[in-house]
């Protein structure tokens, strides 16, 4: 029998392609005599040298899988070592890590063994042991296995803070090529069952009884030829239809896998980052997916400009915006000015005129914002707004890959569910 160390090595390694590590959005008081709670704010307990946070103990119950999705390292035909935890081994690891304050909780997923229902049952078993036997009050994220029966999904939601069924690809054609066993409709049915659980608990006035941190999903980016426009349109539709808290984008890197039939891509990390930024605009800045994607070259987001800046450059006739007069929704559209600074500007201008100097002190990114705004004082750069060379000027100024890479971690992991 394989020793625990080896299993942990194999099954943590196999779990790292799921981007989600959020532990926020859930409040749960410690039960009497138990251990663990959640207070709403996610906590990243460590960071690995890839800059990603460790918030949850992220494991597969097993990396054995009956499916053969070509973008997935754990596919049936993949030549990797296989392992399987016993439920009590996962419980023990979780408790031992939690007591030492290494983690906020557990994110448990699995390869598909025997059937969707059997796999779902095994995941539920672990969560149930943690909650009932260990009186564990920390965060639990369970994979909702596509095709599992509604009863099982409803049971999973009783123990889990979050459920996630990964859609993987934005359109069925991609799945047909890369994951022939999967269908969008089956995955969406699973999301619909989870949504039923959420709505039902809410209707009964016991929202906290079912997946209190809601549901999320993940899309693999760069393994198929689908464009960012297709991806963001799908993401927006999923947010609306299933009330998802988050869509995660996971850049596929062919170097990590060996399937030669896959689409190759040069800058998957930057592309992933731009998708997170665009997703952020859709969820928090009042942008519709079609606004972010309209007029994109080749249907993909501009890698050189962030999506808000790119949008503003395409809509220069709407600028300049007077920061002392504009509505909140218009202020939110100015490149380089974030939501918090919009709120600060609105407060300040009740008492005094906002000048460039004020914006500089608020740490507004003036290198991006100054071309698009009118302030109470003289702003010489606004006269260059209509120059044909502006996009190039901003390309040189705006792109600091390290800084942007940092931002994607902030938006996707640290602040988690904002």
Task: Compute how many other C-beta atoms are within 10 angstroms of the C-beta atom of residue 362.
Answer: 16
Nearer Cβ to other proteins (88/392): 88
| Residues in contact with 404: Cβ distance below 8 Å, sequence separation at least 6, in sequence order | 270, 273, 306
Nearer Cβ to other proteins (243/269): 269
Q: Does 240 bind other proteins (CB under 8 A)?
A: no
Give the integer Cα–Cα distance in Å for 178 and 174.
6
Residue in 77, 90, 102, 187 binding other proteins, rule: CB under 8 A: 102
Nearer Cβ to other proteins (203/256): 256
Q: Does 332 bind other proteins (CB under 8 A)?
A: no
Residue in 22, 53, 65, 108 binding other proteins, rule: CB under 8 A: 53
What does DSSP assign to residue 132?
A: I
Report residue 12 as tokens: 């943590």
Residue in 2, 80, 88, 99 binding other proteins, rule: CB under 8 A: 99
Are 243 and 202 contacting, i.e. CB atoms less than 8 angstroms apart? no
Residue in 39, 176, 377, 386 binding other proteins, rule: CB under 8 A: 39
Can you name the residues that pair with 247 across neighbouring β-strands? Answer: 217
**CB of residue 14 vs other proteins: minimum separation in angstroms?**
9
Q: Does 125 bind other proteins (CB under 8 A)?
A: no
| Piece of 162-170, 235-243, 285-293, 344-352 that binds other proteins (CB under 8 A) | 344-352
| Piece of 49-57, 112-120, 292-300, 315-323 that binds other proteins (CB under 8 A) | 49-57
Binders of other proteins: how many residues, by CB under 8 A? 59
Q: Does 317 bind other proteins (CB under 8 A)?
A: no
SS3 215: strand
Can you name the residues that pair with 5 across neighbouring β-strands? Answer: none
Give the integer Cα–Cα distance in Å for 169 and 218.
9
Residue in 1, 48, 298, 317 binding other proteins, rule: CB under 8 A: 48
| Piece of 93-101, 125-133, 209-217, 311-319 that binds other proteins (CB under 8 A) | 93-101
**CB of residue 201 vs other proteins: minimum separation in angstroms?**
25
Nearer Cβ to other proteins (203/402): 402
Q: Does 316 bind other proteins (CB under 8 A)?
A: no
| Residues in contact with 217: Cβ distance below 8 Å, sequence separation at least 6, in sequence order | 164, 165, 166, 167, 191, 238, 244, 246, 247, 248
**CB of residue 269 vs other proteins: minimum separation in angstroms?**
7
Crossing angle of helices 401-409 and 268-284, in 10° steps, is: 50
Q: Does 266 bind other proteins (CB under 8 A)?
A: no
Are 141 and 20 contacting, i.e. CB atoms less than 8 angstroms apart? yes
Q: Does 88 bind other proteins (CB under 8 A)?
A: no
Give the integer Cα–Cα distance in Å for 386 and 389.
9
Q: Does 409 bind other proteins (CB under 8 A)?
A: yes
Task: Compute how many other C-beta atoms are within 10 angstroms of the C-beta atom of residue 51.
Answer: 12
Q: Which of residues 347-406 bind other proteins (CB under 8 A)?
A: 347-348, 350-352, 354, 357-359, 361-362, 402, 405-406
Give the integer Cα–Cα distance in Å for 133 and 304.
52
Give the integer Cα–Cα distance in Å for 416 and 418.
6
Task: Build a one-symbol-per-residue string for 243-262: x at contacts with other proteins by CB under 8 A, - elsewhere.
Answer: ----------x-xx------
End-to-end CA distance of the chain: 44
* DSSP characters over 18-56: -------S-EEPPPTT-B--EESS----EE-TTS-EE-E
Residue in 1, 3, 5, 380 binding other proteins, rule: CB under 8 A: 5
Q: Does 330 bind other proteins (CB under 8 A)?
A: no
Q: Does 9 bind other proteins (CB under 8 A)?
A: yes
Q: Does 418 bind other proteins (CB under 8 A)?
A: no
- Of the candidates 86, 109, 235, 122, the residue with the CA atom closest to the CA atom of residue 169: 235
Give the integer Cα–Cα distance in Å for 338 and 316.
19
Nearer Cβ to other proteins (1/388): 1
Task: Compute how many other C-beta atoms are within 10 angstroms of the C-beta atom of residue 46.
Answer: 10
Binding residues for other proteins (CB under 8 A): 4-5, 8-10, 12-13, 15-16, 30, 33-37, 39, 41, 43-54, 57-58, 93, 96-97, 99-102, 253, 255-256, 269, 344, 347-348, 350-352, 354, 357-359, 361-362, 402, 405-406, 409, 414
């Amino acid at each position: 029998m394989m020793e625990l160390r080896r299993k942990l090595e194999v099954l943590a390694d196999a779990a790292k392609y799921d981007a989600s590590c959020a532990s926020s959005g859930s409040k749960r008081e410690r039960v009497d005599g138990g251990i663990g709670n959640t207070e709403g704010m996610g906590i990243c307990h460590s960071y690995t040298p890839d800059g990603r946070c460790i918030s949850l103990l992220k494991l597969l119950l097993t990396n054995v899988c009956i499916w053969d999705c070509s973008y997935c390292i754990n596919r049936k035909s993949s030549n990797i070592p296989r392992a399987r935890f016993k439920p009590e081994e996962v419980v023990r690891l979780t408790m031992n890590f939690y007591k030492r304050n290494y983690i906020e909780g557990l994110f448990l997923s699995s390869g598909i063994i025997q059937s969707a229902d059997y796999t779902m049952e095994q995941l539920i078993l672990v969560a149930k042991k943690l909650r009932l036997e260990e009186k564990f009050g920390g965060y639990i994220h369970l994979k909702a296995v596509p095709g599992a029966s509604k009863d099982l999904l409803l049971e999973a939601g009783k123990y889990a803070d979050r459920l996630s069924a990964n859609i993987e690809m934005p359109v069925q054609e991609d799945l047909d090529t890369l994951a022939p066993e999967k269908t969008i409709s089956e995955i969406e049915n699973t999301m619909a069952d989870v949504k039923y659980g959420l709505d039902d608990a809410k209707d009964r006035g016991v929202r906290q009884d079912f997946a209190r941190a809601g549901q999320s999903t993940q899309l693999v980016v760069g393994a198929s030829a689908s464009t960012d426009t297709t991806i963001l349109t799908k993401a927006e539709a999923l947010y609306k239809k299933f009330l998802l808290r988050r869509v995660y984008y996971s850049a596929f890197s062919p170097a990590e896998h060996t399937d030669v039939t896959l689409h190759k891509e040069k800058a998957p990390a930057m592309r992933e980052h731009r998708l997170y930024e665009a997703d952020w605009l859709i969820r928090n800045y009042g942008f519709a997916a079609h606004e972010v994607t309209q007029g994109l070259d080749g249907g993909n987001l501009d890698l050189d400009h962030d999506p808000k800046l790119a949008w503003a450059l395409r809509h220069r006739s709407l600028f300049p915006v007077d920061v002392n007069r504009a509505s909140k929704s218009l202020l939110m559209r100015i490149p380089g000015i974030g939501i918090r600074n919009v709120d600060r500007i609105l407060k300040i201008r009740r008492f005094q005129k906002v000048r460039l100097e004020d914006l500089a002190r608020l740490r507004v990114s003036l290198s991006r914002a100054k071309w698009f705004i009118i302030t109470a004082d003289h702003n010489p750069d606004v006269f260059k707004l209509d120059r044909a060379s502006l996009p190039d000027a901003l390309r040189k100024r705006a792109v600091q890959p390290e800084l942007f890479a940092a931002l994607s971690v902030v938006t996707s992991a640290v602040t988690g569910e904002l």
